[in-house]
Every structure is written in structure tokens, then in C-alpha cells.
Amino acid sequence: MNAVAAAPAQPSAISLSLQNITQDFPSPSGGAPNRVIHDISLSFNHAGINMLLGPSGCGKSTLLHMMGGVRPFGVVTPTSGTVMIDGKRCDGPSEDVVMVFQQYANRPDMTVWENVYFPFTLKLWRNKVTRAEAKERTEAMLQAVGLADKRDLFPYQVSGGQNQRVALARALVLRPRILLMDEPFGALDAQTREEMQLLLANLYRNNPCLVMFVTHDVTEALILGDRVIVFATQPAIVSDDFTIATPRPRDAAWLRSTEAVALQDRVLSRLHDASAGKGSLRVSY
Amino acid sequence: MSDFWNPYAALTAQSRRLHGLIAVVGALCIWGALAMSGTISSNKLPAPWTVMHAMSYLAWDNGHSILLSATLWSAGRVAVASVLVMVLGIPAGILMGSSPRINAVLSPLVDPFRSAPIVALLPIVVMWFGIDELMKIVFLFAGSVVYLVPMVRDAVLAVPQSYWISARDLGATPFECVTKVIVPMAMPRIADAIIVGVSVMWTYITVAEYVNAREGLGQMIQNSKRFSAMDQVFAGIIVIIALALVTYQVMSWIKRRLYSWETLV
């Protein structure tokens, strides 16, 4: 790991809170609106990896999109309730918040290096970061995600895992205070997913921020989370919310420990009671 | 032969060329045989060798090349009209593709002309723009721009939304999304639109040059027809086809060089 990336940063004060969030989507058949999220209130007051765990299609991605990033088109989100970031109402993209998508939106016409450098070509960041610093940060970030030797290759010339590293680097190079991850490793094979989870844990240790990580993989939630929030589906409500004190990286042996097995059983039985037959979770191991 | 009905089993380049060569030579043989048999009079179907002879006469006769000057005139007109089409048509297509509102306004004014009989517009173009160079350029422009603008618009619309969302999230303004994301990503298909637009002009060049014919390949063909020199008419048509083919190949090659990432995504 590179010296710049390895220097542990001081976590800055941050607060994110969801207040009575409810979301309805218009029904396609024109009937009563479809409630996907029902009265969720959560708050996050310090750096940490927060896992939003729930069955596919439970509305957890919709919730994530409300916290920043880009709101969906054609629908007002949230229907009621407020998202507050640092005590201010959040209703659009913010420079403190960066999102990593499952479909890594890497530009096919740009090299790995250009993809990570891309945000610095935008007016918003040009006014904040000098060209020299932008180049330095890009270089350090590529080192940190292990892509220094791939810098001149195009996305189609590197693997899916490496593409997701590019997407992660492009988000982290902006040093966001809040990092939103929407099932970022969902499309990767098991081994690559493990590598990426370890990478994220390492990157986080060096640059702690508030990470909101959406997943439907129980194992992933247990391996990465400081706090795990479990959602039941249709509509999404919080069905469980617990913290894991065991330090990362957590290995396969820990996953077989009494603590981990108990947590896994707890999540699965809760979800089974709350939303049997409505969606499914994945257990990787 | 087991791969005869398999669209994904591509032939080798050598085999492909050989097949094409056999087809062309075969067609020439049938043409020659028909001409020799005398079933069709030479006024209607000149023999291939007569056409070759006419071609060489047009290419060089008495220290003067009719073909060269005609080609230069036609190519010049196509070039001027191409520049015009690109300068006006590409921005129009990009605007339409980038803003649903602009598209809603311009689409009913542009799209119907894709199926309009452009040749039937010739009398109007002559009435408005006279019979000189301006009229020829405008006619070529009109024939081409009606294809180019919708194609550029569709190229822009074909860029997946995920790139737009990602750029917005990283802090791009909507305008930056268009200039830094949508347009660069649409460039390969915009290049396809240019290739089609220019190729279409070669099909309209003869029509444009029939009016007040003084120079150009269209005039050359028109002139030959007037003197019933069917061999020269055939020669002229072959030259136009060859020029269109070369233009197409060169432009495709440039496009592949510039946007090599497109097919490999």
C-alpha cells in the first residue's frame, strides 16, 4: 500500500439521519400506490461501515438513493419524511456523498487512469482541487486499490473485479464523507467478492468515513459491518439492527465462530418470520 | 460445409475475398456472354470490354481527362455539402438527443422528411436557389441531412443512462453530462451517421448535376446519354459506385481507428 493512502486520516464529524421515511410508488395498473418503504427512522453519527441487509427488491436501494446520489426520475422520493446530512435537509447530489453502483459505470472510451481522474475534469472539482493535487490523488488511489500497473488499460481489458476497483477508486479519490455502495460486489464471483471485501476493509481502515452498504448477502453483512440493519420487505421496515464489535478483517474461521453463526441464524429467522416467500437473501459460505 | 448455415462461423479474410472475386468475375462473364450472344442490342447493353474502352477514353484522350475533371467537380460538391451537413446536422442531432423538449419541437419537422421523396424537391430547390452551384450544394445537403440528424439524435439516445447518473453523482452539471459524457460516448454512432450521410450524397450527385449540367459525373453521364454512348453511361455509373465505395471504406477505417473501444466493450 502506498504511503499517502496508508496514513490513517482522522474521521471527521458526520451525521446522517433518516426521519420517518415512507416511499410509495405508483401502481403500474393504476390502482392504489405501492408502498415500498414504511416509516423508517435511523441515524448515524460517526464513521463506520453500516450494512443495509434485506431481500432483493425490498426498497433498500431506493433508501440508499435518497441519501444522495441521483434520485430516480419521474417519482418524488421520499414520499414523506426527511433525509438530514449534518443537520441539513438533503434533496439532491452532494459533494460529500459519492455512490458506487453495482453496474460499475466505467467509461469504455477512457483508460483506467482517466476513469479515476474523470471527476477532477468537472467544474465542481476543478475549482477545489489543483491539477497537480488531482494527479497525485489519482496516482495514490490507483496504488491503494492495486491498479497502478493497469493505469493505461481500458476497462474492457481488465477483469470485472478490477473494473469494480476502478469504480471504487473513482469514488474514494474524492474523499467523500459518506460513501454509498449499492450491492457493489453483487455481480462478482465468490473469490473476487472476498478480495474486494478485504480491499474495502483495508481502504476503510486508512480513510474512515460513513459507509452505507446495501447487500442481500448475509455473509457479506457479517464480514464487513460495524452495524447491520436488517430490512423486512413489502414494505421495507427495520426488522433488526445490531452492531458487531469484532475487528476487521474477519476471516472464514470467524464466520464459523459461535458469535457469527448465532448472528446469521438470528438474521435468517427474523427475515423468515417477517417476510416468508417475499424475497430471498444469499449466504455465501 | 457444416458451417454453411451458421451465421457466427466467420470466413477467413482470404476465403471471403475469393468468394467475392468469383461472384464479380461470374457476373462479368454472364454480362460478356449476353453482350456477345447478340440477344440484347449493344445500344442497350454494351459489352464489358466496350465499357472498359470507354472508361479509358474518358480517363485520357488527347491530353485531356474528362473523367478526372468530372470526378473532381463531383467530389468537391460532395465535400462542401458534407462539411455543411456535419456543421449544421451534428449539433442539431445532439441538441435533439440531449433535450426531450428540443426533440419534441424539432422531431415533427425533421423525421417526416426521412421518407420524403427528396428528388421531387428538386424543382423547388431550383426555384429557390437557382441553377448554379448553390442549388447543387443545397440539394445534396437536403438529401443527406434528413438521414443524418435523426441518426445523430438516436446515437445520443442510445448512450446508457447509467453513465449520466454516475456523472451527475460525481458532481457533473447536466450540461457537463452532455459535453463530457453523452457526446464522447455517442461518437462512434455519430461517425456511423456521417458515413451514411456522405454515402447518400453519392446517390444524389447525378440528380443534382442533371440540372444546368456543365461539369461533374452527373453531367458526364447526361451528356453521354444524349449522344447514345451507352458504354460511357455505364462507365460513369461504375466510377460513381467505385467512388462511393472508396469513400465508405476510408471513412469506416478512420472510424475504427478513432473509436476502437466501441466493438470491444
List the single best residue of B168, B170, B182 to mutate versus A (max A Cβ within 10 A): B170
SS3 of chain B: CCCCCCCCCCCCHHHHHHHHHHHHHHHHHHHHHHHHHCCCCCCCCCCHHHHHHHHHHHHCECCECHHHHHHHHHHHHHHHHHHHHHHHHHHHHHHHHHCHHHHHHHHHHHHHHHHCCHHHHHHHHHHHHCCCHHHHHHHHHHHHHHHHHHHHHHHHHCCCHHHHHHHHHCCCCHHHHHHHHHHHHHHHHHHHHHHHHHHHHHHHHHHHHHCCCCCCHHHHHHHHHHCCCHHHHHHHHHHHHHHHHHHHHHHHHHHHHHCCCCCCC
Q: Which of B168, B173, B187 sits opposite A70 (nearest CB)?
A: B168
Model confidence pLDDT, tens digit, residues A110-130: 999 999 999 999 999 999 999
Q: What is the pTM of this model?
A: 0.84
Closest CA to A96 of A108, A107, A87, A109: A87
* pLDDT mean over B70-79: 94
Look at residue A41 and give its three-state secondary structure. Answer: strand
Model confidence pLDDT, tens digit, residues B179-192: 999 999 999 999 99
Chain B's closest residue to A100, CA to CA, is B166
* pLDDT mean over B2-6: 85
Distance from CA of A109 to the nearest CA of B (A): 6
B262 contact residues in A (CB cutoff 8 A): 108
Distance (Å, rounded) from C-alpha B90 to C-alpha B105?
17
**Chain B interface, Cβ < 8 Å to A:** 162-163, 165-173, 176, 180-181, 184-185, 187, 259, 261-262, 264-265
* pLDDT mean over A23-47: 82
- The three cell numbers of residue A45 are 453519527
Report the pLDDT value the prediction gives residue A107, as an integer from 0 to 100.
Answer: 93
Report the pLDDT value the prediction gives residue A8, as an integer from 0 to 100.
Answer: 45
DSSP state letter for A106: -
CB contact under 8 A, A93 and B168: yes
Position with higher pLDDT, B62 vs B237: B237
- The three cell numbers of residue A272 are 423468515
Taking CB atoms within 8 Å and a gap of at least 24, the contacts of A129-138 are A136/A4, A137/A4, A137/A173, A137/A175, A138/A113, A138/A173
- CA distances A33 to A27, A65, B228, Å, are 5, 20, 76
Q: Interface pTM (ipTM) of the complex?
A: 0.84
A121 contact residues in B (CB cutoff 8 A): 180
* pLDDT mean over B3-12: 88
Report the pLDDT value the prediction gives residue A247, as an integer from 0 to 100.
Answer: 86
pLDDT higher than threshold 70 for residue B128 = yes
Report the pLDDT value the prediction gives residue A2, as an integer from 0 to 100.
Answer: 43
> How sure is the predictor about B100, in pLDDT bands with cuts at 50, 70 and 90?
very high
- The three cell numbers of residue B38 are 447478340
Look at residue A255 and give its three-state secondary structure. Answer: helix
CB contact under 8 A, A99 and B169: yes
Q: Which of B163, B168, B262 sits opposite A107 (nearest CB)?
A: B163
Distance from CA of B81 to the nearest CA of A (A): 30
How many residues in total does chain B contain?
265
B181 contact residues in A (CB cutoff 8 A): 107
Q: How many CB pairs under 8 A join A and B?
A: 64
Buried b (16+ CB within 10 A) or exposed e, A61-76: bbbbbbbbbbbeeeee
Model confidence pLDDT, tens digit, residues B15-66: 999 999 999 999 999 999 998 888 888 888 899 999 999 999 998 888 888 8
CB contact under 8 A, A70 and B172: no
Computed over every residue of chain B, the mean pLDDT equals 91
Residue type, A224: L
A168 contact residues in B (CB cutoff 8 A): none
> How sure is the predictor about A277, in pLDDT bands with cuts at 50, 70 and 90?
low
- The three cell numbers of residue A114 are 482517466
Q: Which of B168, B169, B180 sits opposite A121 (nearest CB)?
A: B180
Strands laid side by side in the A237-243 sheet? A97-100, A178-182, A210-215, A48-53, A227-232, A237-243
Look at residue A203 and give its three-state secondary structure. Answer: helix
Distance (Å, rounded) from C-alpha A64 to C-alpha A103?
15
CB contact under 8 A, B261 and A156: yes
Distance (Å, rounded) from C-alpha B173 to C-alpha B118?
40
pLDDT higher than threshold 90 for residue A90 = no
Work out the percent of chain B whose per-residue pLDDT is above 90.
67
Angle at B35 (CA atoms; ends B32, B40), nearest 5 degrees: 150
CB contact under 8 A, B162 and A68: no
pLDDT higher than threshold 70 for residue B133 = yes
Report the pLDDT value the prediction gives residue B127, as an integer from 0 to 100.
Answer: 93
Could you tell me which residues are beta bridge partners of residue A21?
Answer: A40
Q: Which of A122, A154, A156 sits opposite B171 (nearest CB)?
A: A122
* pLDDT mean over B105-111: 92
Distance (Å, rounded) from C-alpha A71 to C-alpha A68?
7
Chain A's closest residue to B186, CA to CA, is A109
A137 contact residues in B (CB cutoff 8 A): none
Dihedral angle at the C-alpha atoms of B191, B196, B200, B201, nearest 10 degrees?
A: 10
pLDDT higher than threshold 80 for residue B157 = yes
- The three cell numbers of residue A191 are 473469490
Model confidence pLDDT, tens digit, residues B185-214: 999 999 999 999 999 999 999 889 988 878
Report the pLDDT value the prediction gives residue A113, as an integer from 0 to 100.
Answer: 95
Closest CA to B175 of B107, B99, B106, B104: B99
How many residues in total does chain A contain?
285
Model confidence pLDDT, tens digit, residues A201-259: 988 988 889 999 999 888 888 889 899 998 887 778 788 888 888 888 888 888 888 88
Distance (Å, rounded) from C-alpha A150 to C-alpha B213?
60
Query: Cis omega before residue A78 (within 30°)?
Result: yes
Least confidently predicted of A70-74, A85-89, B95-99: A70-74
Report the pLDDT value the prediction gives residue B1, as an integer from 0 to 100.
Answer: 61
Model confidence pLDDT, tens digit, residues A156-214: 999 888 999 999 999 999 999 999 999 888 888 888 888 888 999 988 988 889 999 99
B169 contact residues in A (CB cutoff 8 A): 68-70, 93, 98-99
End-to-end CA distance of chain B: 32
Computed over every residue of chain A, the mean pLDDT equals 84
List the single best residue of A109, A173, A181 to mutate versus B (max B Cβ within 10 A): A109
Distance (Å, rounded) from C-alpha A228 to C-alpha A250?
15
Distance (Å, rounded) from C-alpha B223 to C-alpha A48?
83
Distance of CA B225 to the CA centre of its chain: 24
> How sure is the predictor about A69, in pLDDT bands with cuts at 50, 70 and 90?
low
pLDDT higher than threshold 90 for residue A29 = no
A108 contact residues in B (CB cutoff 8 A): 185, 261-262, 264-265
CB contact under 8 A, A124 and B262: no
* pLDDT mean over B90-116: 93
A174 contact residues in B (CB cutoff 8 A): 170-171
pLDDT higher than threshold 70 for residue A11 = no
- The three cell numbers of residue B3 are 458451417
Query: What value does the CA radius of gyration of chain A take, rounded to a whole number of Å?
Result: 19
- Residues B164 and B98: beta-carbon distance below 8 Å: no
